[in-house]
A and B are shown apart, each in its own frame.
Chain A
Amino acid sequence: MAKRSFLIPGVDKRLLIKDSIKTMPDVSRRRFIAGGASLGALTLLTGCDVIDSSSAEEMLKSVSKFNDAVQDFIFNPDALAPTFPESAITKPFPFNAYYDLDDAPEVSAADWKLEVRGLVDNKKSWTLPELYKLPQVTQITRHICVEGWSAIGSWTGTPLRDFLKLIGADTRAKYVWFQCADKDGYNSPLDMRSALHPQTQMTFKYANDILPRAYGFPMKIRVPTKLGFKNPKYVVSMEVTNDYKGGYWEDQGYNSFSGS
């Protein structure tokens, strides 16, 4: 690797430039990070290229995969996320996405259908009225964001495991993969054991009202045993699969299991 130049002793000029790219729009940032940069500011510590950024990134990816396995190992399918009284609900519940609320998907209830694909017996699509007829439960849990903040909310919907049973899903498959209507195409894989967790929910209501646009109308997957980004909103399809298909944030470096 070429010798790097330092603007500030110990700080790599190129890494500074890379850092400033963080302020770029998300799409370009995503492409940039996928291109293999911005993880390796270890030069800050060593003052030289003992570890170049690409080998550091490979090491970090391996450890993240190891952490997936550790989390899968300690995941207890019967451990329930704490529930709270209504008085504990955070008001207003924050809107959070990689875009502004104005850019949130506007899904037409009449046109929307939930597509079901992959290892399931019944691949019929579901309309909103059909889904609303399924038995629903309400739970008040803490949503924890990968950024560190958390908020308590009330979500109502059908336990995902009941729906998976209804459509004859092969629950020995590894993942349920969700695709969403967000701009740039949000998607996220959910490991089957988390998908079958009793609190994992196909959510249709927030605070007893039809899910507003800000929180993922018409359907969100609420997984109280996962970080917020593993709770996809504006879901348009689910696929039961053995293949790891990646995810919007997972591909950029967020730990894939991200269980809580």
Chain B
Amino acid sequence: MSSLTATDEQVSATPAKIIQPAWVRVMHWINAFAMILMILSGWQIYNASPLFGFSFPRDYTLGGWLGGGLLWHFAAMWLLMINGLAYLVTGFATGRFRKKLLPITPSGVLHDVRAALTFKLGHDDLTVYNYVQRTLYAGIILVGVLIVLSGLGMWKPVQLHWLVSLFGDYPTARYVHFFCMAAICAFLVIHVLLALLVPKSLRAMIIGR
């Protein structure tokens, strides 16, 4: 957002015209691929014993049947977890999270949400995230951590019993896992929509500039 002034630190941290460093781009697309596999196979698994009064359309599930869905889910989980862990470590180690996502202030969020809803939120400088972006990106990282932890807890409710206890018990971990998925899907819709509205942001996530 143009009205936000970049600090010296932010300027020096983004030399030349590289907006998205290579590691961010690689991990972003691996994550996108793994996440879609996890969601579609997860819907297959959900359909075997729905938590609510609906099922996901079969055409949008992966694996053909419960057994196939589980094989996909427990294969793609490694990709998701290893890539996610590498992303978190690199994000903290390089200071990218601190530089890009902080601070998040209530007044800043309010201001930018209002600006976004009246289509006045600019994207002139892609190296600086506005408060709406900061909130969504930080939030989705937290949701990603939660969905992995609740998933691991459901996978190993005896061996990782302490993890299940964090969420209450096995059935509550299942609900947490589901609602995290729902949050990720909602994020995905907004994220893709905004990327298409601001195509240069999509280009930056592909070629870096």
Q: Do A and B interact with each other, yes or no? A: yes
Interface-forming stretch among B68-76, B109-117, B186-194?
Answer: B68-76
Q: Give A165 to B93 CA distance when docked, in angstroms.
A: 54
| Inter-subunit contact A74/B65 (CB<8 Å) | no
User: Of B65, B71, B155, which contacts A22 at CB under 8 A?
Assistant: B65
On chain B, the residues within 8 Å of A131 by CB distance are: none
With most chain B CB atoms within 10 A of its CB, the pick from A16, A147, A224 is A147
Q: Give A146 to B66 CA distance when docked, in angstroms.
A: 9
| Inter-subunit contact A45/B36 (CB<8 Å) | yes
On chain A, the residues within 8 Å of B58 by CB distance are: 19
Q: Give A80 to B157 CA distance when docked, in angstroms.
A: 10
Q: Give A59 to B71 CA distance when docked, in angstroms.
A: 10
| Inter-subunit contact B156/A260 (CB<8 Å) | yes
A82 at the interface (CB under 8 A from B): yes
| Inter-subunit contact B48/A148 (CB<8 Å) | yes
User: Of B67, B78, B159, which contacts A254 at CB under 8 A?
Assistant: B67
Could you tell me the distance in whole angstroms from the C-beta of B130 to the nearest C-beta in chain A? Answer: 31
Supposing A44-B40, A60-B72, A82-B161 touch, asked if A249 and B67 sit within 8 A by C-beta, the answer is: yes
| Inter-subunit contact B48/A147 (CB<8 Å) | yes
Interface size class of A (residues with CB under 8 A): 35 or more
Looking across the interface, which residue of chain B has its beta carbon closest to that of A56?
A: B72
| Inter-subunit contact A148/B158 (CB<8 Å) | no
User: Of A8, A63, A259, A260, which contacts B78 at CB under 8 A?
Assistant: A63
User: Of A37, A63, A80, which contacts B64 at CB under 8 A?
Assistant: A37
Could you tell me the distance in whole angstroms from the C-beta of B163 to the nearest C-beta in chain A? Answer: 12
Q: Give A79 to B51 CA distance when docked, in angstroms.
A: 29
Q: Give A74 to B75 CA distance when docked, in angstroms.
A: 17
On chain A, the residues within 8 Å of B128 by CB distance are: none
| Inter-subunit contact B64/A19 (CB<8 Å) | yes
Name the 6 nearest CB pairs between A and B, nearest first.
Answer: A38-B64, A253-B67, A63-B75, A147-B48, A147-B49, A60-B71
Name A residues whose Cβ lies closer than 8 Å to a Cβ of B: 8, 11, 15-16, 18-19, 22, 29, 33, 37-39, 41-42, 44-45, 59-61, 63-64, 67, 71, 74-76, 79-82, 142, 144-150, 224-225, 249, 252-255, 259-260
Name B residues whose Cβ lies closer than 8 Å to a Cβ of A: 36-37, 40, 45-46, 48-49, 51, 58-68, 70-72, 74-75, 78, 155-159, 161, 170-171, 174
